[in-house]
Structures are given as structure tokens and as C-alpha cells.
Amino acid sequence: MTGLTLDPGHVTLAELESVYRDLHPVRINRTAEAAIRQASERVAEAARGDEAVYGVNTGFGKLASVKIAAGDTATLQRNLILSHCCGVGEPLDETTTRLMMALKLLSLGRGASGVRFEVLELIEGCLAFGVTPVVPSQGSVGASGDLAPLAHMTAVLIGEGEATLKGERLPGRDALERAGLKPVVLGPKEGLGLINGTQFSTACALVALFDSWRLAEATLITASLSTDAIMGSTAPLLPEIHELRGHRGQIEVARAMRQIMTGSEIRESHRDGDTRVQDPYCIRCQPQVAGACVDLLRMAAATLEIEANAATDNPLVLIDADRIVSGGNFHAEPVAFAADQIALAVAELGAIAQRRVALVVDPTLSFDLPPFLAKDPGLNSGLMIAEVTTAALMSENKHLANPCSTDSTPTSANQEDHVSMAAHGARRLGRMNANLAHILGVELLCAVEGIEHRAPLKTSPALQSVIEKLRSKVPALDADRYLAPDLETAAELVRTRSLVSAVSDEHIIRLGAANEPV
């Protein structure tokens, strides 16, 4: 089996992004096998004993005081999975589901869950041969693990539920059979080990992180284009200003924008004699705002990297202490906080970008650009309503950015009386990223139109490459036309890093560890 070999406890964000974007088969490092087998043997031993061990020979949640006979442990685990398949709503997309499965492998691979190695091999087989469980996206409160979503994933492993294979939606057993795989009969604690955990929430949050980082990269380019379009000053990008404050993201954003705008004829044309003393905040304070968002994304990234490497089910097998102990690692509070941090960053990147769009299309502020960038204003409306669309999307993101982590409600007869709401906190980020991509796409269209109005003066070589990339897909707006396809094309250029590939990679900020030096 080819693909990525991941080391439980030591996986990196880059490896996880590769799992998500490149659809690699995944296997765990076989150095983890001994600990996994040792833990599963310890659970099997507990199942044969008389001492009550939660989830091994007892009921679950409020029913933990109910002792289960040794002969019923397999039925107990199967019933657990089937009864917890209560998800609703649209299915999670296949790429995020695959990442969730890889995260579950990594968690089980820590050797503290007591799940047999053969179960991990079946998950590996599903990833290798493209058997992807159909996982409804709603139903988890992110507390006793992502119970419902992970139950739907696990149902396929036991030959139940539904899965997709080569684009076809099938009963789980049929999908396994077509891929040459066999369902498992769950042993003691294995059902619980598979559905306790934060892998659904963490996968959704990681996907949002990967996508929002790409959008943060794109803002460096669209912001630079807008600055040149309105003949903004680059003095606020001077390194001395940002070094006096010291925030890493701010320093890096200013540096990147300086490099991207180097060589602009437009900038040189108004360096002397410009009567404007200061530009509006959306131009002057770009490093301070975008830099703070970058720092926030890095903090979320650090949390999610730790979570991706964590054992998060319950109870946990502590081999060195020879104990099976109930705890609360399944509570997704860290993931909920990380999702809320990402939401704040995405909302603010969109808010300041929207103000740049408004600036470029407003003739009273854009320094001699035509109203709404129309070639014949009045007869043509230009990009008037494209700006209105960005306002709608910005406002929607502001609403969605309200914290989810502060919203708790008791569940399971008050046994689970404080929950994180990490699942929908992470899920809502996909919608926010889609909104931000469209805002930045409109900014791209507006800024390029503005720069082209400055001809024969040219922008910097780096930004000229971006303009050529756009113009290969979207022609100049010589007269009003049906604009919706242009907005979609521009948003796609933003989402796919096509803008970033048009400039030198050295101009773009990297998502490193939060404590990495500037």
C-alpha cells in the first residue's frame, strides 16, 4: 500500500493538509503496533474480569451503572454504534471525511484506546481503496466525542450504514465487498473507542484552517492591488513602524506587501506632490489588521496540530500504570476555541477587504477613478452591485463569527452537562471561507480595473503577473455584462492559490509554528 505513513503523536499540519488535498492513502507507522496490541489485550483481560470498567462491561453515559455480561460485550458494542447513528443534514464532503478517518487512525495509534490493530488496518484499507462512509454533518455537540458523526463512520466498518465508492453511494457492506475488504466484529470497548473523540470537529476545523490560510495569502495580493489602484501610500509599510510594535504577523504582512509592490510605476508617479496626508484605515492599517489575523490563525493551527496528535476517547488504557481510567479527553473545548479564533480572523479579513472594495469604487475617495469603475458611468453601472454583494457577504460573516464555544446545553440526562459545540463551530467556517473568497474575488476584479485605468502607468512586475492571470480568464469591463460568472471565476482564482502562483513564493507568508522567529 503506497501513500503517506503517519507517526501517531508526531504528525504535522503539512502532512494533514496533504491527506486532505491530495487524497493519499494513509497508514500509521508500524512502530506503533506493539503498543496498540498491548492496550487491546489489556481491555480483553478487563472484559473477562468481574470489575466494572466503563464501556467495556457496562452501559454508556447515564447507563454506566448497568453491568453487561461477558457474553454480551460484542452485542453491546454493535448496539452502541447502531443506536448512535442519529446524524442528520447534508453529508460531510468526502475529502473532509477521509481526513476525519486519518485523524481517528492517529488517535487510536497512540496505543491508549484498546482497539485491536486489525480495526486500524480496516480503516487504512478504506482510505486506500476509496471506501468513504456517508457521514451526516449535523448531530454532534462536541462533548462526549463527536458521537453521531463517528458512529456513521464506524457503521461502515461493521458492514452497516452507507459509503461512497468511485462516485457511487452504496450500503456499507457492499462498498467493503467491492473493495475486497471485510467488516469487523467489534470487540470489548472498540465501538466506544471509535466514536469517542474529536475527529469530526478537528477535521472540519483543519480544513477551514487550510483554506483560510490560502485566503490570508491572497489578501496580501488583493490588498496590494487595491493600494496601487487608489494610488495609496506605501509609507505605512515601512519596516521600522512594525518593528516598533513587534507583532510577528504585522511585520510579515508589511514585508510581503512591500515586496509585492516593489517596482510599481503607479506608486512612483505620486510619491512627490501628493496632497493627501493619510489614507483611510483600510489602506493604512492593513498590516495591523491582516497581521493580527495571521497571528490568530497560527494560534489556532498550534491547537489543532496538538489535537490531531491526541488520544481523545474514553476510557483510556494507561499501560505503564496498568489501569483503564475514565477521563474527559473527548471534550472538544480546545477545538471549539480554535474554530472561534479562525472565525474571527476570516470575518476581519473580509471586513477590511470590503472596505477596500468600497474605496476603489467610490469616486469621492478613489483619487480620480470613474464611479464604480464604469467606462461610461450612467449608461453603465460597472461594479456597483458587485460591491453591494461584498457588503452582504461581509455582514453574513460578522454574524457567523459570533462564538460557538460559549453556547453549552446539557445532554444525556444531565450526565454530559457542559458541551463545547465544536462541531458546528467548525462546520460554519466552510461557509465563512466561501464568503471571504467571493469578497476577495470582487476586490481582485475592482482593483485590476482601477489599475488599468492608470495606464500607461503600470503596477509592479509581481502584480502585473496577477493581472495577466486574471485577464486570461476574465476580460476587462468595457461595458456592462452578465457579471455572475466573472465573480465565480475570480473567487476560484483566490481559492486555488492561482494568484499566489503568479507572484514569487518568497513574497508569501508561511503557516509555521506560533513561536517561530520572524
Question: Cα-Cα-Cα-Cα dihedral of 246, 398, 441, 363, to 10°?
Answer: -90
The answer to whether the CB of 387 falls within 8 A of the CB of 442 is yes
* Cβ-Cβ contacts under 8 Å for 456 (sequence gap 6 or more): none
Q: Give CA–CA dist 487/443, Å, rounded.
A: 10
Return the SS3 of 256: helix
Rounded Cα distance, 381 and 495, in Å: 27
Give catalytic status of residue 482 as yes or no: no
Residues of the chain with pLDDT under 70: 1-2, 61-62, 64, 273-277, 505-507, 510-518
- Walk me through the domains of the chain, giving residue ranges and CATH numbers: 4-197 (1.10.275.10), 205-408+420-507 (1.20.200.10)
In Å, what is the CA distance from 25 to each residue of 61, 128, 131, 200, 373?
35, 4, 11, 19, 49
The angle formed by the CA atoms of residues 239, 242 and 247, to the nearest 5 degrees, is 135
Report the alpha-carbon distance of residue 517 to residue 513 in Å, rounded: 9
- Residue 225: the pLDDT is 98
DSSP symbols for 149-204: HHHHHHHHHTT-SEEEETTEEEEHHHHHHHTT-------TTHHHHHHSSSHHHHHH
Q: What is the pLDDT of residue 239?
A: 97
Q: According to the model, what pLDDT value does residue 516 have? A: 53
The confidence score (pLDDT) of residue 56 equals: 79
Give the pLDDT confidence score for residue 409 in this predicted structure.
87
Global pTM reads 0.94
pLDDT for residue 504? 72
pLDDT of residue 513: 43
Annotated catalytic residue within 20, 54, 281, 482: 54
Exposed/middle/buried for residue 2 (C-beta within 10 Å: 0-12, 13-18, 19+): exposed
